[in-house]
Structure 1
Amino acid sequence: MSIESRASWGIALAAVTILSVSFGAPLLVVVSLKPIAADLGEARSIPALASSLAYLGAGAGGILMGWIAGRTSTRLTTMLGGAMVCAGLALASGGAAWQLVLGFGMLVGLLGNGALYPPMMTYVSLWFDRRRGTALALVSSGQYVAGAVWPAVFERLVAQHGWQRVMLGYGLFAAAVILPLAALVLRPPPKPLLGTASAAGTDGGGPVLGLAPNLALGLLALASFLCCIPMAMPAAHLVAFCGDLGIGTRQGALMLSVLLAAAFLARQFWGWLSDRIGGLNTVIAGNLCQTAGMAAFLTTQDEAGLFLVAAGFGLGFSGIVPAYVLAVRELFPAREAAWRVPALLFLSLSGMAAGAWLAGLLYDGFGSYAVAWKAGIAANLLALALLGGLAMRRRPGVSAFSPG
């Protein structure tokens, strides 16, 4: 007996489609960073702040909208999210700095993707009991699908029509896709069958890695904040970085697509690896790869080399955030996952927001991205120190992670 059916995969595919469109909205700022900055007086920190607030808003909005979805319906929050993405892009297309920041931070982020990504992940999980992990891996890759598809499209459209018209047009397109899909496809999930759910995590009631549980989560979340700072830097500034090196915008947008396509493909490998070595060990391995990727951006200046570095960076960082979630599920009771996982993801998204903004701020101050890449490496090394300290607290002879 299983609740899974053909309808379950239809729901999963609808969710991927919705997220692939909604996550295209923040990429408009990435691709258009230089022309937006030029229109606003050359300060890249302003569009970088808008990109950061979109991440931060999605994290905070996920907590709020997840609560609302649990008391109303995912269809309602999804339709609200689609409408807010459209409204945010329409506001940002006005061209003023405050419109850009408010449109992306409040509407695209908090009320838009915040109403789409976390509630959608929970909703899809209710349609599966046998292949739930496979379905969630598919749905969580919506951001990478967006990254592989939209940058090259945006680059051509912005070059022909300007970033303001493209923002307005894409907002209408997002509403035209998301609202009908939500209204026609999303419906209440099936009731779970008795005996099909398996508990995960520890029994609780005692220390975690020899620490008070909340302290252990706080240190893990702090590490996720630090390692997500460098994660966001190349993704948010790669097109502009290429332009500074004399590489065309089209190639820069294609490079960003390569980075995120590699991340989409590698997520499947990292998921396989984390099932075998545990979430905490996978986080450490992913951070080591990410540090190497950031160092490679410092030493590579030619177009072919940067394509290779971008692909390698995508392969390295893509498994880190899911592995953090797995680590929380392994270290803490399943009954606490509903608040511990969103709390950690909020810190992760906050780190991505800080990284995108910090890289723009450092560029404005030093006229080069080299200082930003170095700051990202420093943050990554601090994260590795925290993670290494947590890993060393595991008692000898005890498994690195709890089964289930």
Structure 2
Amino acid sequence: MAMFATLLGSGPRAPDSAYAYTRLALSLLIATIVGAGMWAVIVVLPSVQAEFGVDRAGASLPYTLMMFGVAFGTIMLGRIMDRTGVAALLAVAAAGLGGGFVLAGMAPSLAVFSAVHGLLIGIFAGVGFAPLMADISHWFIKRRGLAVVVVASGNYLAGTIWPLVIKWGIPAVGWRATYIGIGVFIAVTVIPLSYFMRGRPSAQMMAEAEAATETARAGIGVSPRLLVMLLVAAGFSCCVAMSMPQVHIVAYCGDLGYGVARGAEMLSLMLSLGIVSRIGSGLVADRIGATTTLLIGSLMQGVALALYTLFDGLTSLYIVSGIFGLFQGGIVPMYAVICRELLPPREAGSKIGLVVSATILGMAFGGYVSGVIFDATSSYRMAFLNGILWNGFNLAAVCWLIFSRRRMAGGLSRTAA
């Protein structure tokens, strides 16, 4: 705490300054802590199922409601951040998320447990997505892509750390005490940390950012509303495609006779390489632009999905899963960078929240529809082909955006001549 107080309390509060990088480190820490809201229920699912005496579908309901809560919370909290700044929002969200974990740990029934995940844990876990990404985007210009993907990596770090903590806690103290402990930890860490996030961009910084986005948006010749609609459609489509391996790779390996443990290893490989992908995509975006980086990531995601339909050997699946992880991890944060580059900065939280929520809903829909296709065909081949089709929709939207920019640039060049 003292370190953050020293670093955040000194130096110029300007884009790409030492203050900005210290704020970035703090944002990553907070995103990793609140990321527990998305991963905890997955780990305790077997314990919850056994205690409440329900089937697997019933035990999965809290996760489904939590995901819808995250999607809603990402939009709602993003809009609030635009008005109040991120500090007060973090404090409220930490209290709500911490309280949600405590209440879930004391839930007398699955219905209460599920409701808490949808109304408290899910909604307030959304603070780690759009609000934090939107906030950090104001503090970087030269390294904005890198800053946004670093904050977005907090969710993947949470997915690496929290399951290990919970797996230790369940046999030691039980899932209920583990949940209560997580809730208390979130509240006593994030609420004080939010104090150090009080700084807000100056009026001059916001005015310069506004002018820059207007110039960039004029270069593609579309209205803000149309651009948001395009990004929502693109984000939903790419995540429908992305969900197929992420949600079903464990079951797929089980069906092939390799065992679910192998599938879990492949999922872990995807997530770990996804962190590398996110950081790498941020570095690339700062050099060639977020839209071109998104195009590359989407194209390679489609290639990886196609490889899943061609190879099903154990070694091949590890390799393809690695390729998939190396490119899919950087896709979603690019939507946040594009929003920040092309849309009004004073609406960054709400617009990024809307687009990111579309990606979350795309994951939820894609995971479900892939299961439906498997049930209908008794094979994942058509499910992979369905993912390739949705990825094609995403590619088309991104290509249209790039084409519009180049067409406008060509028109301006001819006019100048």
Q: TM-score range, shorter-chain basis?
A: 0.7 to 0.9
Is 1:237 matched up with 2:248? yes
- Which letter maps to 1:2? P
Q: How far 1:290 sits from its partner (Å)?
A: 1.0
> For residue 209 of structure 2, what is the aligned residue in structure 1?
199
- Determine if contact 2:134/2:348 at 8 Å carries over to the other structure: no
> For residue 90 of structure 2, what is the aligned residue in structure 1?
74
Long gaps (5+) in structure 1: 400-404
**Partner SS state of residue 310, structure 1:** helix
> For residue 257 of structure 2, what is the aligned residue in structure 1?
246
| More divergent stretch after superposition (78-87 vs 204-213) | 204-213
**Distance in 1 separating the partners of 2:192 and 2:234:** 41
Q: How far 1:58 sits from its partner (Å)?
A: 1.2
| More divergent stretch after superposition (330-339 vs 292-301) | 330-339
Is 1:108 matched up with 2:113? no
- After the TM superposition, which residues 35-114 of structure 1 pair with which residues of structure 2 at under 5 Å, given as runs? 40-41=54-55, 43=57, 50-68=62-80, 70-71=83-84, 72-88=88-104, 91=107, 94=109, 96=110, 98=111, 101-110=114-123, 112-114=124-126
CA RMSD of aligned residues (A): 3.9
- Determine if contact 1:328/1:340 at 8 Å carries over to the other structure: yes
Is 1:172 matched up with 2:180? yes
**Distance in 1 separating the partners of 2:43 and 2:28:** 22
1:306 to 295, 311, 317: 317
> For residue 198 of structure 2, what is the aligned residue in structure 1?
189
Long gaps (5+) in structure 2: 1-10, 411-417
Flag the 1:104–1:238 CA change in 2: closer, same or farther, 3 A. Answer: farther
Pair member with larger Rg: 2
- Determine if contact 1:51/1:236 at 8 Å carries over to the other structure: no
Q: TM-score, normalised by structure 1?
A: 0.79
- After the TM superposition, which residues 289-300 of structure 1 pair with which residues of structure 2 at under 5 Å, given as runs? 289-300=300-311
Q: How far 1:86 sits from its partner (Å)?
A: 4.6
Flag the 1:322–1:57 CA change in 2: closer, same or farther, 3 A. Answer: same
Q: How far 1:109 sits from its partner (Å)?
A: 1.5
Flag the 1:182–1:7 CA change in 2: closer, same or farther, 3 A. Answer: farther
**Distance in 2 separating the partners of 1:58 and 1:205:** 30
Q: Deviations over 1:195-221 (max 9, x none)?
A: 566516432798673444322321221
**Distance in 1 separating the partners of 2:377 and 2:48:** 19
- After the TM superposition, which residues 23-34 of structure 1 pair with which residues of structure 2 at under 5 Å, given as runs? 23-28=35-40
**Partner SS state of residue 144, structure 1:** helix
Flag the 1:48–1:362 CA change in 2: closer, same or farther, 3 A. Answer: farther
> For residue 402 of structure 1, what is the aligned residue in structure 2?
none
Q: How far 1:133 sits from its partner (Å)?
A: 5.6
> For residue 31 of structure 2, what is the aligned residue in structure 1?
19
Q: How far 1:234 sits from its partner (Å)?
A: 2.1
| More divergent stretch after superposition (125-134 vs 350-359) | 125-134
- Determine if contact 2:134/2:336 at 8 Å carries over to the other structure: no
Q: How far 1:66 sits from its partner (Å)?
A: 3.7
**Distance in 1 separating the partners of 2:36 and 2:90:** 21
**Distance in 2 separating the partners of 1:280 and 1:241:** 33
- Determine if contact 1:279/1:323 at 8 Å carries over to the other structure: yes
- After the TM superposition, which residues 310-325 of structure 1 pair with which residues of structure 2 at under 5 Å, given as runs? 310-325=321-336
**Distance in 2 separating the partners of 1:28 and 1:363:** 27
**Distance in 1 separating the partners of 2:217 and 2:360:** 29
Flag the 1:153–1:66 CA change in 2: closer, same or farther, 3 A. Answer: same
> For residue 150 of structure 2, what is the aligned residue in structure 1?
138
